[in-house]
Amino acid sequence: MFSKKYGYQPEQSIQIESVSDLLRIRIWNVFYKHEIKAGGLSSKRITAAFSGEMTVEEKIADKLGFNINESFLTDKINKFITKTCEWYIVYDFIDSYICCIEDDEKMQQIIAEINCVLEEEKSGYRIVNNEIAPITNKTEIEEIESAVNTQFDSVNTHISKALELYANRKNPDYENSIKESISAVEAMCCTITENEKSSLGQALKKLEENGVYIHKSMKNAFSSLYGYASDESGIRHGSIDFVNAPAEDAKFMLVSCSAFVNYLIEKWSKVKE
């Protein structure tokens, strides 16, 4: 924007636990464009209304606690989201909206638009694998999304769960998010070594036997991370030191373990060629 580029408006700080009026309006505008303005008698919204099914805004209103029998429902949701609700309800609105979109291609388009708005307005959150998470770096998002969509179900499940636990705005569980992140790496290493009962420490040592050579320093780094999670004072043993694992630890482990999973898959794919 011209005004920010040339200093006529101050540079905006990252919005964490807050949502500016402009961000509220721009989020609503994405919804309005795709669900209210995009119409015609053939639109799914109109069809749903005539068939007696709940419209998109009625589904969202229901999840937000509105009476869907109220008149001017769309206007009331608009006022609530853009003017009066708490900051976290705006993200509940986004969550509810995404859950209502049945067409995957449309969903990805809308998520891309919302993420663009979140980035431009310096929100501290992004939509990652359909979850709203406190992650703003594009590279980090790509690593997680790749790791959650591998051909290995066990890896996908662990990363998805780690993301879900980390992204829960009302009740985040960073300790168990870290456990799931480490478990994803463990699952990938066990897949490569064809031994589902191996621990991560054991599997890392056997990667070379299966043609996957990684630098000694990198192997040592992940062995240390395994120790962080598994030794007698680690996460998996419920040590008091980790009862209140901080958000930054959970984020680091989620991103790092996702990246390492992707790295291992790429390494292993070259062995199998």
Q: Do residue 268 and residue 157 come from a single domain?
A: yes
Question: Is 134 a domain residue?
Answer: no
Separation between Cα atoms, residue 31 and residue 12, nearest integer Å: 24
**Does residue 168 form part of some domain?**
yes
User: Does one domain contain both 101 and 204?
Assistant: no
Residue 5 resides in a domain: no
Distances in whole angstroms, Cα of residue 181 to Cα of each of 108, 163, 229, 232 = 25, 8, 10, 19
Structural domain includes residue 136:
no
Shared domain for 115 and 189, answered yes or no, is: no
Domain boundary among 124, 152, 180: 124
In a domain, 102, yes or no: yes
In a domain, 137, yes or no: no
pTM higher than 0.85: no
Residues 268, 154 within the same domain:
yes
Answer yes or no: do 166 and 47 share one domain: no
Q: Which one of 94, 124, 154 terminates a domain?
A: 124
Q: Is 176 part of a structural domain of the chain?
A: yes
132 DSSP β-pair partners: 127
Q: Are residues 146 and 265 in the same domain?
A: yes
Domains held by the chain: number: 2
Tell me the backbone φ, ψ of residue 127, rounded to 5 degrees: -90, 120
Same domain, 227 and 114: no
Whether residues 46 and 102 fall in one domain = yes
* Contact between 66 and 76 (Cβ < 8 Å): yes
pLDDT tens for each residue of the chain, 273 residues long: 666 555 656 656 678 888 999 999 999 999 999 988 865 444 565 566 556 678 888 889 999 999 988 888 889 999 999 999 999 999 999 999 999 888 899 999 999 999 999 998 989 999 999 999 998 888 999 999 999 999 999 999 999 999 999 988 778 889 889 889 988 998 999 999 888 777 777 888 888 888 888 888 877 777 777 666 655 444 544 444 455 788 888 999 999 999 999 999 999 988 776
Are residues 160 and 248 both part of a single domain?
Answer: yes
Torsion angle defined by CA atoms of residues 30, 36, 41 and 44, in that order, rounded to the nearest 10 degrees: 70
Residues 264 and 155 in one domain: yes
One domain for residues 193 and 227 = yes
Range of the domain at 92: 14-124
Q: Is the residue at 24 inside a domain? A: yes
CATH of the domain at 225: 1.20.120
Q: Do 24 and 120 reside in the same domain of the chain?
A: yes
Q: Which of 124, 152, 178 is the last residue of a domain?
A: 124
CA separation for the pair 259, 214 (Å, rounded): 14
